[in-house]
Amino acid sequence: MSYPLFYDSVTACDECDLLHRIPPLKSGERFKCIRCGHVLISVHEHVKGRIFGTGCSSLLMLAFALAFPFLGYSSSGAERSITLFNIVSVLINQDYLILSAIISLALFVFPIAYLLAVIFLVWSFDNHHVSMAIKRYFTRWVIVIQPWLMVDVFLVGTLVALVKMDSLADIELGLSFWAFCAYVLLLLKTISLVDRRWFWNQLAGHGPDHLIVKPTVLEKSALAKSITAKQQELIGCHFCGATLLGTAFHCSRCGHSIHSRRPHSLTGTIAFLIASVIMFIPANVFPIMQTTFLGGNEPSTIMGGVLLLWSLGSYPVALIIFLASVVIPLVKMLSLSWLCWQCYYPTERETMQKIRLYRITELVGRWSMIDIFVVAVLTGLVQMGELMSILPGPAVLSFTSVIILTMLAAMVFDPRLLWDKNEGSVMPSSQEKKE
């Protein structure tokens, strides 16, 4: 079965700005940029039904995860069990309102909003009574929310918290835990099925009303020269993939503001990086967790927790925490700083190597939230007064700020600037590839 997606239409690559004509694609095929390898569009088999099914199943599993106990433990005759809501409520009762808001957004608000929006959009594709403005609004929110979905990171953080508690108490996994695991897998599957360009094509079509390009660019001979949108005075919309004249300020298909290059991209990236470096210092100097045991208070920094786990023989967990909380933030800050430097003073190193580095920094950044989720789970689970209790330390908000700031720095950075400094790397002649 063939889907006429963007047939005889022109789109610009999000990462290198190269113009492509996307042919009809069959189920299971995807179309990649011929210069940087970025996937421009993917077509999944029976995609509407699969998105609707996995989305509804994910919401059902979340309902089960909220209805039953999540974790339980017993120590010295004392027992306690918690639900997912208890993790947030304990933080609120202890006056950690900002941290509780972050956990609520990561666990409940963003995932539920994303799933409901996706399910609604798939349903609305065949329902012409829904206004286009509402469809555009929901589609734009799906794109904005997706990078901030962290339920898989929370699950890994929960497992790390269980390893930390294993030597102090007997841990019991509730029914909610297994439902939450199913919820995470189904949500990840839903995300993998959602393709931005496919969604916009289903939403608003691909006719000439939305793709306003110069007639010469539509000629195959022009596309065979591997030219960029900027060279043809065109602009590729980052939100829906449409290609418009360089004089346009808003996309005629999705309504989003468009720019040939993100305005103040380097300035914004550098500003976020400077702020993250400043917050990284207190995040590692001050305790991230405070443990009360038999009336004594024992603070623990990020590195202190890593060393403790290592001394207890939990080498894999210690390595995960060290990589996620120390190595990844540092490497991400250094990598983005070097990429910004390359935009001003490019070296002879291949641009594709720089693009791969950018993709890695953008991919791994959210995994630094593992330590924050560990603290949140332990805080909700271990509350036994003077006998034993765990509370977040002053470094929690600083470290959370580091993660958010570095993620924003990667989002603001425009990788097309790297190609602008190396226009000679454009392939002289090639054919578009279909996988």
Better pLDDT: 111 or 382:
111
Domain annotation covers residue 294 = yes
Same domain as 303, residue 254: no
Average pLDDT over residues 92-119: 91
Same domain as 335, residue 219: no
Same domain as 276, residue 255: no
pLDDT of residue 32 exceeding 60, the answer is yes
Domain annotation covers residue 350 = yes
Average pLDDT over residues 208-225: 46
Same domain as 416, residue 275: yes
Q: Which of 366, 361, 56 shows the shortest CA–CA distance to 189?
A: 56
Same domain as 374, residue 400: yes
Domain annotation covers residue 233 = yes
Task: For residue 220, give Cα distances in angstroms to 11, 19, 429.
Answer: 13, 11, 12
Domain annotation covers residue 133 = no
pLDDT for residue 218: 45
Domain annotation covers residue 223 = yes
Same domain as 372, residue 305: yes
Q: By the 8 A CB rule, do 21 and 227 touch?
A: no
Q: Which domain range does residue 376 map to?
A: 264-422
Q: By the 8 A CB rule, do 305 and 378 touch?
A: no
pLDDT band at residue 295 using 50, 70 and 90 as cut-offs: low
Percent of residues, the chain, with pLDDT higher than 70: 85
Neighbours of 42 (CB within 10 A): 21
Q: Which of 165, 366, 402, 394 shows the shortest CA–CA distance to 288?
A: 394
CATH number of domain containing 418: 1.20.140
Same domain as 271, residue 408: yes
Please identify, among 238, 260, 282, the residue that sits at the C-terminal boundary of a domain.
260
- Which residues, listed in sequence order, are joined to residue 25 by a DSSP beta bridge? 3
Query: In degrees rounded to 5, what are phi and psi of residue 433?
Result: -110, 145
**Tens digits of residue pLDDT in 308-337:** 778 777 778 788 888 888 888 999 999 999
**Tens digits of residue pLDDT in 228-276:** 888 888 888 888 888 888 777 888 777 788 888 888 899 999 999 999 9
Average pLDDT over residues 180-186: 95
Write the DSSP string, 285-337. HS-SEEEEETTEEEEE-HHHHHHHHHHTT-HHHHHHHHIIIIIHHHHHHHHHH
Same domain as 384, residue 281: yes
Q: With 0-12 CB in 10 A as exposed, 13-18 as middle and 19+ as buried, what is 186?
A: buried
Same domain as 337, residue 301: yes
pLDDT of residue 2 exceeding 50, the answer is no
pLDDT of residue 111 exceeding 50, the answer is yes
Q: How far is CA 71 from the centre of its chain?
A: 27
Same domain as 242, residue 272: no
Domain annotation covers residue 399 = yes
